Amino acid sequence: MFLPVTLGRASEEIVLQVEAAILDGRLAPGERLPSERDMQVQFGAGRGVIREAIKTLQQKGLLAVRKGAKGGAFVRSLEVANVSESLALFLKQHPVSPETLIEFRETMDRAITVLAIARGSKADKEALLAGARRLESLLRESGPDLAATDELDRSLNLRLARMAANPLFEWVMSALQMGFSSHDYALYADPVFREKAAANWSDTAQAIAANEPARALSFIGHHYVLLRQCVESRSERSGPVEAPFLNEPSD
């Protein structure tokens, strides 16, 4: 199955061969690669080289390694999480302004909303509306559980993206969401903004459920107006934002 290596960086050569085998489908997800000592023979390379190649493929998310008997390197199906991780790392080194993120998300949200109205099932739309209402009521409590509301907010966004029936939108949105751990920014703390945003979520969901794209987009716009106001008031209070302030309380 594999050929001995001769060229430059041996481990890179191995990575390419295995990666190609996986992407071609010659190695299916769940399948087990030979043991390191076997590959050492098949590739005609030292074990260290094999291990470095496996390390790289592991980092790429293509392999998972278990130790012990019946262990070894197993082909993995790539998850959005891998992409998110990579994006998150990038954003940590290149903090983007809140406005940059808001701008991008607003674009995506508008496109997704239109598609979701056109393609989402009745059940989807009702579930979305129910979720939005639930979020609203959760936020109306005194001392709301911010972690829970944040989680609900994320799941609603994800559900909406899924309703668009285009996996690319879904993947990009979830990469953005997962890229930033929620505890980094507690914009949620602002009670005034919180209530308006939650009510707006319900309005949006209702417009979507009623198949009213114009109204829905209008509410989406309102959401981002609120968000921008909130960011602005926050940066006034605490000086310029340095940390990547990347999630919205309730969009």
Residue 83 interacting with a copy of itself (CB under 8 A)? yes
37 vs 237, which CB is nearer to DNA? Answer: 37
Q: Is 133 exposed, middle or buried (0-12, 13-18, 19+ CB in 10 A)?
A: middle
Nearby residues of 65 by Cβ (< 8 Å), 6 or more positions away: 54, 58, 71, 72, 73, 74
**107 is in the binding site of which of DNA, a copy of itself, none (Cβ under 5 to 8 A by kind)?**
a copy of itself
Tally the residues of the chain: 251
Residue 148 interacting with a copy of itself (CB under 8 A)? no
Rounded to an integer, what distance in angstroms lies between the CA atom of residue 20 and that of residue 5? 15
Q: Which residues pair with 65 in a beta bridge?
A: 73
How many chain residues touch a copy of itself (CB under 8 A)?
A: 42
Rounded to an integer, what distance in angstroms lies between the CA atom of residue 82 and that of residue 20? 19
Residue 140 interacting with DNA (CB under 7 A)? no
Residue 37 interacting with a copy of itself (CB under 8 A)? no
DSSP string, 125-179: HHHHHHHHHHHHHHHHSSS--HHHHHHHHHHHHHHHHHHTT-HHHHHHHHHHHHT
Residue 78 interacting with a copy of itself (CB under 8 A)? yes
Residue 11 interacting with DNA (CB under 7 A)? yes
Q: Which of 15, 18, 27, 49 binds DNA (CB under 7 A)?
A: 49
How many chain residues touch DNA (CB under 7 A)?
A: 28
Q: Are 14 and 5 in contact (CB under 8 A)?
A: yes
173 vs 198, which CB is nearer to a copy of itself? Answer: 173
- Residues numbered 168-227 forming contacts with a copy of itself, rule: CB under 8 A: 168-169, 171-172, 175-176
Q: Is 40 exposed, middle or buried (0-12, 13-18, 19+ CB in 10 A)?
A: middle
**195 is in the binding site of which of DNA, a copy of itself, none (Cβ under 5 to 8 A by kind)?**
none
**212 is in the binding site of which of a copy of itself, DNA, none (Cβ under 5 to 8 A by kind)?**
none
Rounded to an integer, what distance in angstroms lies between the CA atom of residue 203 and that of residue 225? 15
User: Rounded to 5 degrees, what are φ and ψ at 75?
Assistant: -70, 135
Q: Which of 52, 150, 248, 251 binds DNA (CB under 7 A)?
A: 52
Rounded to an integer, what distance in angstroms lies between the CA atom of residue 185 and that of residue 197? 16
- Residues numbered 62-91 forming contacts with DNA, rule: CB under 7 A: 65-73
The site for DNA (CB under 7 A) is made up of 8-11, 33, 35-38, 40, 44-49, 51-52, 54, 65-73
Q: Which residues of the chain form contacts with a copy of itself (CB under 8 A)?
A: 11, 22-23, 48, 51-52, 55-56, 59-62, 77-78, 80, 82-83, 85-87, 89-90, 92-94, 96, 100-101, 103-104, 107-108, 111, 115, 166-169, 171-172, 175-176
